[in-house]
Structures are given as C-alpha cells and as structure tokens.
Amino acid sequence: MNDQIAKILTNIDEVMIGKREVATLSLVALLAEGHILLEDVPGVGKTMMVRTLAKSIGTSFNRIQFTPDLLPSDVVGVSIYNPKTLEFEFREGPIVGHIVLADEINRTSPKTQSALLEAMEEGTVTVDGETVHIPKPFFVMATQNPIEYEGTYSLPEAQLDRFLFKIQMGYPTFDEEVEVLRRAAHREPLKTLQSVMTIEELRALQQQVKTVHIEDSVKAYIVDIVRQTRSDQHVYLGASPRASIALMRASQSYAFMQGRSYVLPDDVQYLAKFVLSHRLILKQEARYEQIEAEEIVQRVVARVAVPTQKAMNYE
Amino acid sequence: MKAPISKLELAVYYTLIFLILYEWLVPVMELTNTGYIYYFLLFIVLSIICVLLKLRSWLSAIIKVMYILWFITLTHGGAHLVQLDGVRFLLSEVTYNAQQLVAGDFSYITNSVRTILFFILLWMLMYLIHYWMTVRHSLFYFLVMTIVFIATLDTFSTYDGKFAIMKVLLYGLVLTGMLVLKQIITAHDIRLSWKQAVLYTLPLIIVVAAAGYGAYSLPKSPPKWPDPVPFVTGVITGEKTVSQVGYDTNDAELGGSFESDDTLVFTAQTNEKRYWRIDSRDTYTSKGWEQSYDEPTKEYITPNTLIGTMRDEDNVDYVTITMDKDDSYVLSPYGTLRYNYDDAYMIEESVESGYRESVNVTSWTEEMIPSYSIEVDEPTYSLEELRNTDMSRYAQLGEQFDRYLQLPETLPQRVRDLAVNVTKKAGNAYDKARAIETYFQSSGYTYTTKDVAIPDDDEDYVDQFLFETKFGYCDNFSTAMVVMLRALDIPARWVKGFVTGDAIDSTTYEITNNEAHSWVEVYLVGIGWVPFEPTIGFTGTLDISYDVQEQEVEAAEQKSEEASQAPEQLAEEEQDATLTPTSTFSFAELWDVLKWLFGGIAIMLLAAAVVMYNRRRQWLPSYYIKQSKNEPQNWTTFEKNYKNLLRQLHAVGYVRGTNETLSAYAKKIDEALQCTEMTTLTTAYECYLYGNYAQDADFTYLQECWEYLINRTSG
C-alpha cells in the first residue's frame, strides 16, 4: 500500500474504531477527486471522520449544517457592498474549502441542495455573475438521514449521480463501542493527531492516480457491469456512462492505494456496489419486494464474466 | 545435450538399417516385377555414404539427382547420361511427361516418372531414418512399420516373408538395443572408449542371437484361428474355394464358404415334407468323402414295380417330380415303393449290402428324365425297436459293413474321446446317435455358410470343425456325426440330396440349389439305415411312434418341439443368403474380411483414444512440463503455462466461476492445496494481463511454482 495513504489510515484508525472500510473509501474518493454521500443516523462519527481526514492532510474543514431555512447564499457565499472600496466584495461561503462536511443535506430545500451539488460538480461557485474557483483538492462529504425520517427533502436521482460513493457507516459492534467509550474517557486523540501530508502532496497523489493503467479488457468489464444494470429486470433506470467513468476513476484510485500501477477486475468488483447502487432507480415492484439496490449490483457483478484474456480490440 | 554420434557408430547403425531396407525392397521388387534391385540398393548406399561423409545437403542432392537421371537413361533409354542419346532421351521424356502432367493424364505418364517417384520415396525414407537416428535416437516406428509391411505382404501376397520377418526382427533388436545404450550413455554424459563400446554391445548381440536361434528352433503351435487368407486369395484368383451351393458329385475336399444360388432344380408334388435323398458316401478321407468302389452293383428298376416294402396302402403318397436342371440322378425319398416313368428312359439303383445307395438314370444317353412319379410310404419307426439296438448286437455284423466303419488312421484321438464322452449316458445305438445329433445344438456350434475353414494338409476336417472353428454348414455337421458314430463302431454313412424346398402351395415344393444338403444315415441293427439330421436349424423327417414309457415320450416330444422352431431360423438364413448379390462377390467378400480388420483396428484406436482422454489429468501435466521446457522463458510461455494450469485445475474439479477474479480463485486454490504458489503465479499473470507494460519477472521461479502446482494436479 502507498506509504502516505497508509499513514492517513493509521491516523484514522487511532481516532475511529472499526471504520477502516469507510476510511479507505473516503480516501479513494479523495484521491479520485470525488465526493462521498454518507447515509446514516447522527452520532456514528461522521464529523470525527472528516476532521481526522482534514487534520491528517494539514488543513481545516468547513462544516455546513443544512436546515430547512438555509439559503443558497449561506452555502456558496454573498457579495457585500464595501463602503471603503465602493465595490461589491464576494464573501465566500463555507463551500469554498478543501474539505467540506455537508451535514444532513436532505433537510434543506431543493434550491439550497442544488447550489451545493452544482458547486460540487463544477468546482466553482457563481454569485452575481462572478465565478470563483474552489481550490483543489476539493472534497465534500455529505451526510443524509435515512429517507424515512420526517422533514426531509430527498435528493433527486440526477443529483445523487454527483457523488462518487454512497456509503453507510453503520453502528459499531458491541466491542467497538466499548472501546469507543474507553478512548473517550481517557484522552482526546484528535488533538494529538499529527498531519502526515500537505495539500501539495495530496494534489500530486491525485495526479498520480490518473496515470494508473487500466487495460482495455478491464474497461470493457466496467462497461459490461454498468450496461447490465440497465437491463436488469428490477431496475427502472440503470447507471449512466457517468457511472462508468466514476467506476473507472474509483478503481484507479483504489488500485493506486493498493500500491499497484494497474487496475484489477478485483478492484472493480469491490467498488461496484459503492459506486453504482445510488445511481439506480428501482422499479416499484422491487421496492415492494424489498430488494435493495446494493443487492442488484451484487447480482450484476456475479453475472458478468471476468476478463482473463489479453485485450481484444474494442474499436 | 545430445552427444554427437561418431562416424563409426553411424556406419554400424546404417549397415543394420541397410539390411532392414533390403528386406523392404526385395518384396516390392518381386511383386511389382521391377528389375535392377541392385541399382536401388546402390542408391540407398549412396545416400548412406552422403550422410556418413556429412556432405552438404546441396552436394548430396546433386549426387542423388545425377544418380537417378543416370539410372533412368540407362534403364529406360538404354544409353548413358553422358552420351548424346541419353540426353536426347531425357529431354524427350521431360517434354512428354510435362505435357501429360499439365493435361492431367496421369495414366499416360511413362515408367521413368514412376521410377523417379519411387526414388523420391526412397530418398524421403532415408531422410526420415536419418532424422529418427540422429535426432530421436529411436527407430522403433520404422521397425514396427517394416514388420507390419512384411507381415501384410506375406499374408496377402505370394511373397514368403517368413525369414525376412525374422531377419528384420533380429537386426531391429540389435539396432534398438544399441540406440538405447546410446541414449543411456548420452543421458549420463559418459564417454566410452572404442573397446568399452564393443564390450557393451557384445552381450546385446549374443542375447539377440541366442533369442533368435531359440525362437527359430523351438516347436511352434499351429495358428489357432481359421486362416482367412486362402479364402481371400481364392476370391482374388478365382480359385474354387468359394463354391456355389448345389448338388455336386465331388466331395473329396469339403470346406470353404459357398455362395447361395437359387437356380431351380426340380419341382415336387407331395403331400408331406420330404428329404430328397440322392446318394451316399462311405469313405472318409479326413478331407472329404469318397466312394470305396468304382463299379457298384446296379439293378434296373422296372417302371411301376414295387421295390420297397408296402405296409399300408392308404398311407401311400404319390409324389411327382418335374426336373428343371439337367441332372442324371433320380430322387429317392425315404420309403420309396415304386417309380413310374416313361420307359424310354432307364433307372438303375446301385445296391450294396442289400440296401439302396443311389438311384440314377442310366439310360443309353444318361440324360435326365423330365418328369416321373414316385409312390412313397415313409416308414414309421417304433421307438421300442429303435432302442432295441444294444451295442452287443453290432458285434455280429458282417464284413460288408466294414466300409461304413472306416476311419482314416490320422483321425485325432480327441475326436474318438469326444464321441465316447457325448454318448456315455446312452445305452443303445439309437440313443447314442440321438445324443450325437443333439450334441451340436447345445455345445456352442454355429451354422454359417461364410468363411468356413478348409483343413490344411496336416489337419482333419472333422477335428477342425469340432474343436477349432465350431462353425460350419451341413457338411461339417453331418460328416462330424458320421465320424463320431464310426468311432463308436456304429455303421454310418454320409448322405446327400436336397431338403424339403420352398412350399408354393400346400402340395407343391420348389427345390433350388440352395436346398442341397447332406445328412446322416445310421445302420440300426434289426431296422436298417435310419436318417438323422445333426445340422443346426434343420429338422429331419424321421417318423417315430412313441410306443414306450410316458416320461421318455415327453422328453422326445420336447426335443421335437425344439426342433420345430428351427425351420424359421433356417428360413431366415436362407433369406440372408439370397440377398447377397452374386455378381460383385470378389470385392464384397474381400471387404467382408478387411472390414473386420479395419473395424478392429478402429475400435482399438478409439478405445485407446477414450482411455487417453479419460486419463488426461494424469498425463497432461507431464506433457505440459515437457513442452514448456523447450520454450523460451518469457511472458508468452508463461501465459500459455498459466492457462494450461487453469485448465488442468478445472479438470480436477477446482472450477472457477466466470465472475470469479483470478486472484480470488488463486486464494481459493492456495487454501485448498495449502500452498502459496497459485497466488504468486496469479499476481505475475495479472501484472502481465492488466498491466500496461511488460515488467521483468523471475521466470525461473515462476516456472518452479508452475511445475509444482501442475504436478500437484496430477497427483
């Protein structure tokens, strides 16, 4: 595994207990320049995770707590008239930062949601005709309450597409929770945490990820999987080509984290569930039968043959 | 790692090869009527010398081509190559044959082209031998081919390869032994001095020579199977070993297959089914039947005169015979009372010992009587009387019966033993005859008209049938029964004629050549000559009144029921026979024999292939390893090896699902086999398969891992 990545993971492990997979996936997304949607109840350590990540790369993080009365300007920023300069000055909102925690995004109005998602997609914010680039790396970790909760505006599917992964954090196990208590009682690990990487170094890693080789046969494998989601009997709307790209980027990033210079079908298989499940719209029947999108993705992966031959020509 | 073969060694090997090739050439020359064998041998010698002198290939090619051209001009053109005539001849041959070849008229090419082709064949053979010798160090295939070749020629042609096979075997054993020695020496990288080499080879030659001499001088048992060759050659040369069925007066040499022939012989009007008796024979020659006297006592049969014993007027059947075939015999069904015929003809019967032997037209012209009628009252025998034939009563028989007890001195003892064995439970002559008659039906004998053996000079016809072949037709069964009865001192004779025939309606029967038949008459003291029918599938017409105890009657009825099933069988056989077209008999018959040969070989090959296929898990790994040793160590070889390994793992039951990645599968394999090699290999393979540039890899180590795993799969 890549050394610097391993250090970050060790940092997270010191603070978080039993969250290795979430940490890994977060790093995959960070390196692939993607964003993460965490779907979970409050209090399972989402903020802690983001903080640890931010501190490990030696930067701060912005937190936006989404409430029903939050306005788009509260997210992206406002132009304020400066009497001294006699000009309007752009005051950037909390979205302009390296690491952003957008908490409970499904509690705010669709208008504010789309402001956030647009910023995520474009990497810029536009206020009064003025466009401001959000500095890279830019990593949003959004959380949402499970949809059944009251007072939520569920995100439209098109916007869910903007997230590279949707991850469920889940409760810790009994032993893990006891360990959480033990640590919380004695010290505050976050304070003693050292940063292991600079922003520049992270940028460099992000560049390296893009050079990870992905063989044509593996690309075809990705396309096979994504296309199969479109023809599944339970799926109303399958994953888009954007999903194929996402799966490829994530696989490259994951391979890089493993210290490999090429993507294996194994990487694709592992990530498919996290990349694809939130991009599928299931048929009503499937919902009645309580078939989860994750399950459908797993079935699709089980159906598609792994490439074991040297590349064929796909032109 | 192959040690070079010294010239001396090669010279020894090639001398042996030359001797073997000589055995090849001799029969070819003999059978194709080709002369100049020494020139062909010279060509072989020339080739060998070229090899021994290690001439460059173009030089030796030129020498050989020149030799061939010289030979052609000399033998076909009658001139030397250097002469003008020779050159002219060559040029004309070339132009003429080129024309024919271009035109596609291959049948018009001249003999010189054929000769050239034969030379090229020899050339190729020499090259092949050279390859086997120097590269493979093994000549096994060549030897096998040679022996098969000579054996085939020996079997199917006039060429006698008895000694050729022996010589080839001996040369071949010495050669093979020397090559094996060579292989051992090469494998262990030993250097032998000239003396040592001779010392090592000497025991080999002594052993082979001793084995050869032993094999030659030891007694050999005759072949166990009937020889198909006389039959095949008979078909090819048209000699009469396959006869046409029908009534024939010459029975001196029995055996051989016969062809069916449905030529009508005569038509009979009769109320009952009858056996149409013609003639009998008394002397068994161990090959067939002859008659012991030349001039039989003949008695004229006056038309319309009682010649038999009239018992009951009401039982008399009036049989009418209409002859179709021009034959001079006259039929005499059992119980003939009178012949009514046109007195323009004359019928005589030959009578010996007071009993009729045959009836013939002995008119001045000896032509057939177109039509005549017979009054017949077939005798009914009382079972009690039949059984009242104790063997002691035969002691008083007169000399006149001696000729019905005749047996050749060469008759093997086992025939006599069998006769005694078969009849040991029977107390009287009738029961003994019955025992022999039924013996054939229950002892694995088969009725067939195809491929019936002909006894060799030192073989007995009956002995061969009873013990060796166990199949045959009426002649085999009836002769065997007569001989066995005679061995028991019961007078018996061999009778010929026709069986019932095809029923046209309830009283009309058509008798064709297919109905020609032979059966047995046994002399039962106090009764006379009684017919018996030993041939499987035929029922006699013996009429017996069962006037003895009930149990025995039941037993007898059972026998007759069994027998009544037989005619259907016979009918089928006859049908089969008539289906065979007689015009194409030579190739069809030849094919009959060959198809068994080819069929057998095909089945054996198929079986071997199936066995090999089923056992591929066992031999494939070592094959793969052997194969991979010869290939360079690179990614291509590695990929091939890895794929073979996957296939092999699959074959032994480690199935990879199509959705399973190679590394997941490798983990599974490593867990199952308690090793780590599969993951090592798979990681390397994945790097090759999914990576963007070929990295260097420790191929030696990978090869070790691979060999370890693929060997595990065969264990």
Min distance A263 CA to chain B CA atoms (Å): 7
> What are the b/e assignments for B440-451, b being 16+ CB within 10 Å?
bbeeebebebbb
Closest chain B CA to residue A221 = B659
Interface of B with A (CB under 8 A): 639, 646, 658-664, 686-693
State whether A272 and A142 are in the same domain.
Answer: no
User: How many CB atoms sit inside 10 A of residue A288's CB?
Assistant: 9
pLDDT at residue number B147:
86
d(CA A175, CA B343): 132
Give the best residue of A306, A309, A312 to mutate against chain B (max B CB count within 10 A): A306
User: Which distant-in-sequence residues (6+ apart) come within 8 Å of A3 by Cβ?
Assistant: none
B446: helix, strand or coil: strand
- How far apart are the CA of A252 and the nearest CA of chain B, in angstroms? 12
Q: What is the pLDDT of residues B476-501, one digit of tens each?
A: 888 988 888 888 888 898 888 888 88
Decide if A262 and B692 are in contact by the 8 Å CB cutoff. yes
Q: Please tell me whether residues A91 and A234 are part of one structural domain.
A: no
d(C-alpha B68, C-alpha B406), whole Å: 67
Of B639, B659, B689, the CB nearest to A301: B659
Q: Which of A263, A264, A306 sits opposite B659 (nearest CB)?
A: A306
Domain finish residue from A133, A158, A192: A192
Whether residues A67 and A180 share a domain: the answer is yes
CB < 8 Å to B663, chain A: 264, 266
Whether residue B661 and residue A269 make contact (CB cut-off 8 A), yes or no, is yes
Q: CA of B614 to nearest chain A CA: how many angstroms apart?
A: 27
Q: Which residues of A touch B693 (CB under 8 A)?
A: 213
pLDDT surpassing 70 at residue B233: no
Q: Do B689 and A265 touch (CB under 8 A)?
A: no
CB B57 within 8 A of CB B47: no
Which of A215, A303, A304 is opposite residue B690, by nearest beta carbon?
A215
Complete DSSP assignment for B497-564: EE---EESSSSEEEEEGGGEEEEEEEEETTTEEEEE--STT-----EEE--S-HHHHHHHHHHHHHHH
Among A157-161, B115-119, B335-339, which is the least confidently predicted range?
A: A157-161
Q: Does residue A156 share a domain with residue A92?
A: yes
Tell me whether residue A204 is in a domain: no
Residue A267: give its domain's CATH number.
1.10.8.80
Q: Is residue A310 part of a domain?
A: no
List C-alpha distances in Å: B692 to A163, A216, B555: 29, 10, 93
CA distances from A136 to A33, A37, B327, B501, B697 (A): 9, 19, 123, 113, 39
- pLDDT at B572 exceeding the cut of 50: no
Our CA-based measurement puts residue B696 at a distance from the nearest CA of chain A, in whole angstroms, of 14
Judge: B661–A266 Cβ closer than 8 Å, yes or no. yes
Return the minimum-mean-pLDDT range out of A116-120, B171-175, B203-207, B605-609: A116-120
CB contact under 8 A, A261 and B691: yes
Q: What residue of B is the nearest CA neighbor of A299? A: B659
Asked whether residue A309 is domain-assigned, the answer is no
Buried b / exposed e over B624-656, threshold 16 CB at 10 Å, is: bbeebeeeeeebebbeebbebbbebbeeeebeb
Whether the ω angle into residue A137 lies within 30 degrees of 0, i.e. cis, is yes
**Are A79 and A89 spatial neighbours (Cβ–Cβ below 8 Å)?**
yes
Question: Are residues A86 and A55 part of one domain?
Answer: yes
pLDDT digits (tens, 9 = 90+) for B579-598: 333 334 455 666 666 777 78
* HEC string for chain A: CCHHHHHHHHHHHHHCCCCHHHHHHHHHHHHCCCCEEEECCCCCCHHHHHHHHHHHCCCCEEEEECCCCCCHHHHHEEEEEECCCCEEEEEECCCCCCEEEEECHHHCCHHHHHHHHHHHHHCEEEECCEEEECCCCCEEEEEECCCCCCCCCCCCHHHHCCCCEEECCCCCCHHHHHHHHHHHHHCCHHHHCCCCCCHHHHHHHHHHHHCCECCHHHHHHHHHHHHHHHCCCCEEECCCHHHHHHHHHHHHHHHHHCCCCECCHHHHHHHHHHHHHHHCEECHHHHHCCCCHHHHHHHHHHHCCCCCCCCCCCC
Q: In chain B, which residues have their Cβ closer than 8 Å to the Cβ of A310?
A: 639, 688-689
Domain boundary among A139, A157, A192: A192
**Nearest residue to A268 via CA among A242, A249, A240:** A249
A–B CB contacts, 8 A cutoff, strictly below? 50
Cα B42 from Cα B26, distance rounded (Å) = 14
Q: With 80 as the cut, is the pLDDT of residue B534 above it?
A: yes
Residues of B in contact with A302 (CB under 8 A): 659
**Residue A217 to residue B663, Cβ atoms within 8 A:** no
Residue A235 resides in a domain: yes
Q: Are A306 and B686 a contacting pair at CB < 8 A?
A: no
Q: Please give the tally of structural domains in chain A.
A: 2
User: In this structure, what DSSP letter does residue B441 have?
Assistant: G
Q: ipTM more than 0.85? A: no
Contact: B661, A305; criterion CB under 8 Å: no
pLDDT at A251 over 90: yes
Range list of H helices, B81-139 = 84-103, 111-131
**Chain B residues lying within 8 Å of A264, measured CB to CB:** 661, 663, 686, 690
- Find all residues with CB under 8 Å of B687, minimum gap 6, and list them: A262, B695, B697
pLDDT band at B575 (very low <50, low <70, confident <90, very high): very low
CA–CA min distance B697, chain A (Å): 15
Check CB contact under 8 Å for B691 and A213. Answer: yes
pLDDT, residue B363, reads 57
CA gap B328, B370 in Å, rounded? 10
Each residue's pLDDT tens digit, B391-418: 888 887 777 788 888 888 888 888 888 8
Cross-chain residue pair A302–B639, CB shorter than 8 Å: no
| Dist CA B26 CA B153 (whole Å) | 11
CA distance B622 to chain A (A): 24
- Whether residue B535 contacts residue B497, with contact meaning beta carbons closer than 8 Å, is answered with no
Does one domain contain both A82 and A154? yes
Distance set, CA B254 to CA A249, B29, B235, B453, B616 (Å) = 94, 37, 17, 9, 53
User: Given an 8 Å threshold on Cβ–Cβ distance, is B689 in contact with A217?
Assistant: yes
Classify the C-alpha dihedral B233-B238-B239-B240 as positive or negative: positive
Check which CATH number belongs to the domain holding A153 and give it: 3.40.50.300
- Widest Cα–Cα separation across chain B: 117
How does pLDDT run across B430-463, given as a tens digit for each residue? Answer: 888 888 888 887 777 888 877 787 887 788 888 8
Q: Which of A95, A9, A103, A3 has its CA nearest to residue A53?
A: A9
DSSP one-letter code for B329: B
Q: Which residues in chain B are closer than 8 Å to A308, comparing Cβ atoms?
A: 646, 662, 689
Instruction: For residue B290, give the 3-state DSSP assignment.
Output: strand
Give the separation between CA A274 and CA A131, rounded to whole angstroms.
Answer: 32
Q: Kindly state whether residues A280 and A237 are assigned to the same domain.
A: yes
Q: List C-alpha distances in Å: B57 to A111, B50, B64, B127, B128.
A: 91, 9, 10, 11, 14
The reply to whether A270 and A166 lie within a common domain is no
Residue A222: per-residue pLDDT: 92
Distances A151 to A101, A105, B265 between C-alpha atoms, Å: 20, 12, 116
Contact between chains at A262 and B661 (C-beta distance less than 8 A): no
Nearest to B51 by CA among B140, B139, B129: B129
Q: What is the pLDDT of residues B194-212, one digit of tens each?
A: 788 888 888 888 999 998 8
Q: Which residues of A touch B662 (CB under 8 A)?
A: 265, 306, 308
Average pLDDT of chain B, as a whole number = 79
Distance from CA of A261 to the nearest CA of B (A): 7
3-state secondary structure of B377: coil
Q: Flag whether A46 is in a domain.
A: yes
Overall average pLDDT of the B695-710 stretch: 82
B-chain residues near A265 (CB < 8 A): 661-662, 690
Chain B residue numbers with beta carbons less than 8 Å from the beta carbon of A269 are: 661
Can you state the angle between helices B699-714 and B616-629, rounded to 10 degrees?
160
Contacting residues of B for A262, CB less than 8 Å apart: 686-687, 690-692
- What percent of chain A lies above the pLDDT cut of 90? 8
**Chain A: nearest CA to B691, how far in angstroms?**
5
Does residue A312 belong to any structural domain of this protein? no
**What residues of chain A lie within 8 A of the CB of B690, using their CB?**
213-215, 217-218, 262-265
> And the tokens for B67?
């030799």
From CA B703, how far away is CA B690, in angstroms rounded?
20
Same domain, A67 and A159: yes
* A159, A192, A225 - which closes a domain: A192
What is the number of H-type helices and E-type strands within chain B? 21, 21
Q: Are strands A87-92 and A77-82 parallel, antiparallel or unpaired?
A: antiparallel
Give the per-residue pLDDT at B353.
Answer: 65
- The answer to the question of residue A313 being in a domain is no
User: Do residues A33 and A73 share a domain?
Assistant: yes
Dihedral sign for Cα B246, B249, B255, B256, please. negative
Cα gap B540→B273, rounded to integer Å: 10
**Domains of chain B, each with CATH number or no CATH:** 7-217 (no CATH), 243-582 (3.10.620.30), 616-714 (no CATH)
Per residue in B56-95, pLDDT (tens digit) is 888 888 988 888 888 888 887 777 777 788 888 888 888 8
The verdict on a CB contact (< 8 Å) between A310 and B659 is no
Whether A34 and A242 have beta carbons less than 8 Å apart is answered as no
In a shared domain, residues A188 and A224: no
Q: What is the pLDDT of residue A270?
A: 92
Mutation pick from A228, A252, A264, A299 vs chain B, by most beta carbons of B within 10 Å, is: A264
Token couple for B641: 């090896």
Mean pLDDT value of segment A162-178 = 86
Q: Which among A217, A264, A309 has the least Cβ separation from residue B661?
A: A264
pLDDT of residue A254: 93
Q: Please check the confidence at residue B565 and state whether its pLDDT lies above 50.
A: no
Chain B: give the shortest CA distance to residue A27, in Å.
23
Cβ atoms A143, A13 nearer than 8 A: no
> Are B335 and B379 in contact, with CB atoms under 8 Å apart?
yes
The C-alpha torsion from B692 through B696 and B697 to B700, rounded to 10°, is 140
Chain A interface with B: residues with Cβ < 8 Å: 213-215, 217-218, 261-266, 269, 301-310
Select the residue from B634, B642, B646, B690 to test the A interface by mutation, using most A Cβ atoms within 10 A.
B690
The 3-state secondary structure of B397-416 reads CCHHHHHHCCCCCCCCHHHH
Q: What is the pLDDT of residue A199?
A: 86
pLDDT grade for A67, boundaries at 50, 70 and 90: confident
Give the minimum alpha-carbon distance from A208 to chain B in angstroms, rounded to a whole number.
Answer: 15
Q: Are residues A70 and A125 in the same domain?
A: yes
CA–CA gap between residue A122 and residue B647 (Å, rounded): 50
Q: What pairs with residue A141 in β-bridges?
A: A36, A101
Lowest-pLDDT choice from A46-50, B575-579, B596-600: B575-579
User: Please, which contacts does B435-440 make with residues 24 or more away whose CB atoms are closer than 8 Å?
Assistant: B436/B481, B436/B484, B436/B485, B436/B534, B437/B481, B437/B520, B437/B532, B437/B533, B437/B534, B438/B559, B440/B477, B440/B480, B440/B481, B440/B534, B440/B535, B440/B536
CA distance B89 to B84: 8
Give pLDDT, residue A154. 77
Residues of A in contact with B650 (CB under 8 A): none
Q: pLDDT confidence of A248, banded at 50, 70, 90?
A: very high
* Closest CA of chain B from A236, distance in Å: 24
Cβ-nearest to A310 among B658, B661, B689? B689
The residue segments making up the domain with residue A267 are 211-303
For the stretch B125-159, pLDDT in tens is: 888 888 887 777 778 888 888 888 888 887 777 77
Helical packing angle, B111-131 and B84-103, nearest 10°: 90
Check if the beta carbon of residue B500 is closer than 8 Å to that of residue B275: yes
Q: Is residue A289 part of a domain?
A: yes
Indicate whether A72 pLDDT > 70.
Answer: yes
Place of tokens 């005709």: A129
